[in-house]
Amino acid sequence: EAGVAQSPRYKIIEKRQSVAFWCNPISGHATLYWYQQILGQGPKLLIQFQNNGVVDDSQLPKDRFSAERLKGVDSTLKIQPAKLEDSAVYLCASSSSRTSVEAFFGQGTRLTVV
Amino acid sequence: AQRVTQPEKLLSVFKGAPVELKCNYSYSGSPELFWYVQYSRQRLQLLLRHISRESIKGFTADLNKGETSFHLKKPFAQEEDSAMYYCAPLVGGSSNTGKLIFGQGTTLQVKP
């Protein structure tokens, strides 16, 4: 089966600019996660979707980050405006149930804010 | 505070030596626990989960509820085991709201 697809793979922007990341989960997977992984740290959960509804977004900086999952399939994560500390790898993952027996990860998008 | 702790950032061993990557958690209830691995230039992927009690690539992990630990072990390390390992509990209280939380990770370096 095809894996989780993310684009772009790399992005460099200036601070205060906006950026969007796209994720296409594995077909049929109801749960979708966005993680932020800063260099040297473990992935930090930003938001979790079940179909097109938000299950958890307690760690999402809502003043600048937003995410949506239209029709319960693809998802986009946006940052506006970006700050230097947003430089990180943004990982998308999906799983087939709300209990997340196994999460499948994309390659990630490496964001550099200069 | 609820957290998952991997005390070692780097663990360096020689090929053939035993390996133990430590993980302690402080979440209430009985979270399901996983180990994920990321090999160089590859995606993060599941290595094993505690409920299956299986051995994957020679690795096993025992859940110790009394010590709230879930250490990953392998009796004889191989060079291809070199990777970043993450302990990840599934937390949230009920199966309907479970979320996967990652530790800081431990880099395992197996020297020839």
pLDDT digits (tens, 9 = 90+) for A62-114: 999 999 998 889 999 999 999 999 999 999 999 886 544 688 999 999 999 99
Please, which pLDDT band fits residue B54 given cuts at 50, 70 and 90? confident
Q: Which of B44, B90, B101 sits opposite A105 (nearest CB)?
A: B44
Residue A101 has what pLDDT?
66
Examine the pLDDT at B1 and tell me if it is beyond 70.
no
Q: What is the rounded CA–CA span in Å between residue B88 and residue A37?
A: 14
pLDDT digits (tens, 9 = 90+) for A6-36: 999 999 999 999 999 999 999 988 889 999 9
Mean pLDDT over residues B61-85, rounded?
92
Residue A1 has what pLDDT?
55
Residue B92 has what pLDDT?
72
Residue B94 has what pLDDT?
47
Examine the pLDDT at B97 and tell me if it is beyond 80.
no
Q: What is the rounded CA–CA span in Å between residue B14 and residue B86?
A: 21
Residue A102 has what pLDDT?
83
Cβ pair B104:A42 closer than 8 A: yes
SS3 letters across chain A = CCCCEEECCEEEECCCCCEEEEEECCCCCCEEEEEEECCCCCCEEEEEEECCEEEECCCCCCCCEEEECHHHCCEEEEECCCCHHHCEEEEEEEECCCCCCCCEECCCEEEEEC
CA distance B104 to chain A (A): 4
Map tokens 């930090």 to a residue: A44
CA distance A35 to chain B (A): 10
Cβ pair A42:B105 closer than 8 A: yes
> Among the listed ranges A92-106, B26-40, B64-78, which one has the minimum average pLDDT value?
A92-106
Of the spans A7-16, B49-58, B82-91, which averages the highest pLDDT?
A7-16
Examine the pLDDT at A2 and tell me if it is beyond 80.
no
